[in-house]
Structure 1
Amino acid sequence: MDLGINGKVALVLGAGGGLGGAIARELAGEGAGVVVADIDGDAAGATVAAIEATGGSARAVEAWDLGDLSLVESRISDIEQREGGVDILVNNTGGPPPSPVSGQPAEVWQQHFGSMVLSVVAITDRVLPGMIDRGWGRIVTSTSSGVISPIPNLGLSNALRTSLLGWSKTLAGEVARYGVTSNIVLPGRISTGRIQFLDEAKARREDRPVAEVTAESLAAIPAGRYGEPREYGQTVAFLASAAAGYITGSVVRVDGGYISSI
């Protein structure tokens, strides 16, 4: 299927990581010119190199700490001057450390709210006018399965990412008439460094072998395996495509059946 995004400009946040990198590679594979953003400049460069090695087009922006909202204007202006307006925005932020939801200092909430929520809102607001003017745009926001079924000991993530669902759904209703869509994608257990880190943290917390924790997780997934990052990336690429123009305000699970609720 031709996804109809050849020549479109895609900005992928957190594209130096497992999920973000996979999304960037899939979009580039469909012919989009990908702008790679990450707080880790070396990781962003590695994603660009992987894309270029397969004939795709990509560029890394200067290391971007999403928690610093003062950088939004300069980073987006640079992209507009060099690549043109952003047609596809993939909001993908890093997760906070494991923690209970109770007893967290206010400054911790403020820090992660800024990097995980306010950054997404600010960057989206900055690129939206251009999308509206062109009559075409795709906003895809990656969250977590914890927004549907809260994950124990990921209290900050569960709470903060859930706010993005209400934001994305409301935004979808506001911009659909302009040819702009807004959707949420949430991963189940996708085989990335983040999932390995969480498995290891749980094993330490419960004084159990990592292999036992992983086997327990696998047993809870009907598909019987962790997802591949490329499978997640392919889902995002479809939602960013011309073919998905009538899909907006949705929450799409990529979880192998892991989330049991309807």
Structure 2
Amino acid sequence: MDLGITGKTAFVSASTSGLGLAVARALAAEGARVAITGRRRELAEQIAESLPGAVAIGADLLAPGAIASAVDQAEERLGPIDIAVLNGPGPRPSTAAELSSEELAIAFDRLVRPQHDLISRVLPGMRQRRWGRVLAVGSSGIVAPLPNLASSNAGRAALANYLKTLAAEVAADGVTVNLLLPGRIATDRVAELDADAASRRGISVDEVQHESREGIPARRYGTPEEFGAAAAFLCSAPASYITGVALRCDGGLVRNL
């Protein structure tokens, strides 16, 4: 299938590792020109050199003014942004009973504010050109809240509802807005969560991972490449009639539809 994104410009937040990197690689493989972003500039440059048509932008996208600067750099070097992938680090694990107002504010600042800033920066051009893709890397916690991730559950749910509202407002302009929800994908972030769970419960990481796999119908963790492929499709031309959707890439982990 031709995804129809050859020559399109993609801005992928936090794309020097994990799911962001997987999405960036998948988009580049389909012919998109990708802006690789991250705090580790040298790593961003190494990744960009390995991908055709990619450029590196070293930036902490959580810092004030960083989004505007990074978008300006990307558009100067690659052209107007057609695809915006919202991604970033999640807050630390916490229970709902122990969640402080400060931690809740941090979750909002990490999971909603920079994503809103990016959308606000690129959306007018997408609507004017009548073609655009906004895709958020979310969490299955917006469907079934995850234990010990109270601040993440709250922040990601807020973002999801904002994006669902936005999707209806811009659909007639040729802009789609979707979320892609990972389950247990084999990334460094999931490894950290597994280690945290092992420490809390006083068991080995291997035991935690075995229990996790047993709870997934596919009986395994997903790969970043599988997640990246799903993301590339949602950003494609053939997916132009899919909007306002939260698609799970989780091996059947969440049991409801």
Counterpart-to-counterpart distance in 2, 1:42 and 1:157: 29
1:257 and 2:252 aligned: yes
In the alignment, which residue of structure 2 is the partner of 1:102? 97
Structure 2 residue ranges without an equivalent (≥5): none
In the alignment, which residue of structure 2 is the partner of 1:215? 210
String of CA shifts for 1:207-245, please: whole Å, max 9, x gaps: 001111100000000011100101000001000000100
1:129 and 2:124 aligned: yes
Distance apart, 1:150 and its partner CA: 1.1
Identity level (%)? 44
Tell whether the 8 Å contact from 1:109 to 1:156 is kept in structure 2 after alignment.
Answer: yes
Counterpart-to-counterpart distance in 2, 1:116 and 1:46: 27
1:60 and 2:53 aligned: no
Where in structure 1 do 4 or more consecutive aligned residues deviate above 6 Å?
Answer: none
Distance apart, 1:60 and its partner CA: 1.0
Distance apart, 1:73 and its partner CA: 2.0
In the alignment, which residue of structure 1 is the partner of 2:150? 155
In the alignment, which residue of structure 2 is the partner of 1:20? 20
Q: TM-score, normalised by structure 1?
A: 0.94
SS of structure 2 residue aligned to 1:242: coil
SS of structure 1 residue aligned to 2:248: strand
In the alignment, which residue of structure 2 is the partner of 1:39? 39
In the alignment, which residue of structure 2 is the partner of 1:141? 136
Specify whether residues 21 and 201 from structure 1 end up closer, same or farther in structure 2 by C-alpha distance, changes over 3 A only. Answer: same
Structure 1 residue ranges without an equivalent (≥5): none
String of CA shifts for 1:172-219, please: whole Å, max 9, x gaps: 111011100000110000011111111111001100011111000000
Q: Please point out which of 235, 238, 243 is paired with 1:248.
A: 243
Tell whether the 8 Å contact from 2:91 to 2:106 is kept in structure 1 after alignment.
Answer: no
String of CA shifts for 1:110-143, please: whole Å, max 9, x gaps: 2231121110011101100110111100000011
Tell whether the 8 Å contact from 1:22 to 1:230 is kept in structure 2 after alignment.
Answer: yes
String of CA shifts for 1:7-43, please: whole Å, max 9, x gaps: 0000000101211111000000000000011123244
1:81 and 2:47 aligned: no
Distance apart, 1:91 and its partner CA: 0.3
Counterpart-to-counterpart distance in 2, 1:65 and 1:103: 28
Counterpart-to-counterpart distance in 2, 1:142 and 1:116: 10
Q: TM-score, normalised by structure 2?
A: 0.96
Counterpart-to-counterpart distance in 1, 2:109 and 2:183: 24
Distance apart, 1:46 and its partner CA: 3.8
SS of structure 1 residue aligned to 2:213: helix
Counterpart-to-counterpart distance in 2, 1:131 and 1:140: 13
SS of structure 1 residue aligned to 2:26: helix
Counterpart-to-counterpart distance in 2, 1:205 and 1:49: 41
The one-letter amino acid paired with 2:30 is E
The one-letter amino acid paired with 2:131 is W
Count of matched residue positions in the alignment of Structure 1 and Structure 2: 257
The one-letter amino acid paired with 1:120 is Q
Q: How does 1:185-200 map to 2 (within 5 A)?
A: 185-200=180-195
SS of structure 2 residue aligned to 1:252: strand
In the alignment, which residue of structure 1 is the partner of 2:86? 91
Tell whether the 8 Å contact from 1:15 to 1:47 is kept in structure 2 after alignment.
Answer: no
Which stretch shows the higher mean deviation, 190-199 or 99-108? Answer: 99-108
Counterpart-to-counterpart distance in 2, 1:22 and 1:84: 22
